[in-house]
């Protein structure tokens, strides 16, 4: 098994004249990795770099041993943006069938993805008539087509009810247990405890990297949110 699914070295991204990622380096291994930090800290920009959707100033991003965005990664990386990337005027099944054709995967993959996100009872319903949570699951189903080796999820649980959040996290763990790497971004610190490993970001930099227990132990905090705040305070304190 490949030790690191993602390798980022000295990544610099400039947007609107501002250095959003000022030379970031990190690795992502199989399992569920949480990318946590406040809105605007660079999480989405980093995820876009991993899937080859972001222009970079300098640095290197390799995914599954290939340069990020390589054609060979098209079916090996699943990506879910903050807004569900599905067509509102098509049914769930029609959306999945369309993307399956694009990816070159068969009908069995469609059925498997629908079942994985528990949308079987809604597969023939037009996406535009689904609830927000159901639309999110439809977008996730698209990303699951073909059993990707890396699943990149940009704040997939924001705005969802607690039961659906719990169910989606259970799904992320099942996917990881099958050998995939799942990278989940969130600004909700209580989701940190659901991850095998954490990358805490602030202002484009990784300020902590480790298991939830390791992050708490490093600061002596009772929870990850407290640890994050202490790390921020320490970074801002005079030397």
**Residue 5 scores a pLDDT above 60:** yes
Burial of 82 (0-12, 13-18, 19+ CB in 10 A): middle
Task: Print the domain residue range for 119.
Answer: 86-147
CA dist 230 and 227 (Å) reads 5
pLDDT given for residue 8 in this prediction: 98
**Residue 235 scores a pLDDT above 80:** no
Q: Is residue 135 part of a domain?
A: yes
Neighbours of 121 (CB within 10 A): 10
Pairing of strands 58-63, 66-67: antiparallel
Percentage of the chain surpassing pLDDT 90? 72
**Residue 237 scores a pLDDT above 60:** no
Which is more confident, 238 or 99? 99
Q: Is residue 81 part of a domain?
A: no
Is 34 within 8 Å of 184 (Cβ atoms)?
yes
Neighbours of 88 (CB within 10 A): 13
- 170-194 average pLDDT score: 91
Backbone angles phi, psi at 143, to 5 degrees: -65, -25
List, for residues 114-159, the tens digit of each pLDDT value.
Answer: 998 889 999 999 999 998 888 888 999 999 998 899 999 999 888 7
CA dist 206 and 86 (Å) reads 32
Which is more confident, 49 or 134? 49
CA dist 153 and 137 (Å) reads 12
- 48 and 161 housed in the same domain: yes
Q: Is residue 160 part of a domain?
A: yes
Residue 32 sits in a domain whose CATH number is 3.40.50.300
- 184 and 125 housed in the same domain: no
**Residue 32 scores a pLDDT above 60:** yes
Final residue belonging to a domain, choices 98, 121, 147: 147
Is 18 within 8 Å of 183 (Cβ atoms)?
no
Half-sphere exposure of 51 (CA within 13 A, CB side): 23
- 53 and 119 housed in the same domain: no
CA dist 150 and 182 (Å) reads 6
pLDDT tier at 236 (50, 70, 90 boundaries)? low
**Residue 165 scores a pLDDT above 90:** no
- 160 and 70 housed in the same domain: yes
pLDDT tier at 239 (50, 70, 90 boundaries)? very low
Provide the number of structural domains found in the chain: 2
């Amino acid at each position: 098994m490949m030790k690191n699914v993602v390798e980022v070295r000295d990544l610099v991204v400039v947007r609107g004249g501002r250095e959003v990622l000022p030379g970031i380096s990190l690795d992502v291994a199989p399992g569920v990795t949480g990318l946590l930090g406040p809105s605007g800290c660079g999480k989405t920009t980093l995820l876009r770099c991993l899937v080859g959707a972001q222009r970079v100033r300098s640095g290197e991003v390799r995914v599954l041993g290939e340069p990020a965005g390589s054609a060979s990664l098209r079916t090996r990386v699943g990506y879910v943006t903050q807004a569900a990337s599905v067509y509102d005027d098509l049914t769930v099944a029609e959306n999945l069938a369309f993307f399956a054709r694009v990816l070159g995967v068969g009908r069995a993959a469609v059925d498997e993805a629908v079942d994985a996100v528990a949308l079987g009872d809604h597969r023939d319903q037009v996406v535009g008539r689904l609830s927000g949570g159901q639309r999110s699951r439809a977008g996730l189903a698209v990303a699951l087509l073909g059993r990707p080796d890396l699943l990149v999820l940009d704040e997939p649980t924001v705005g969802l009810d607690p039961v659906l959040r719990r169910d989606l996290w259970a799904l992320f763990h099942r996917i990881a247990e099958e050998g995939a790497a799942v990278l989940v971004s969130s600004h909700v610190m209580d989701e940190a405890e659901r991850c095998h490993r954490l990358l805490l970001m602030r202002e484009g930099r990784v300020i902590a990297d480790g298991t939830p227990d390791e992050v708490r132990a490093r600061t002596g905090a009772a929870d990850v949110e407290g640890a994050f705040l202490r790390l921020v305070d320490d970074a801002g304190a005079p030397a």
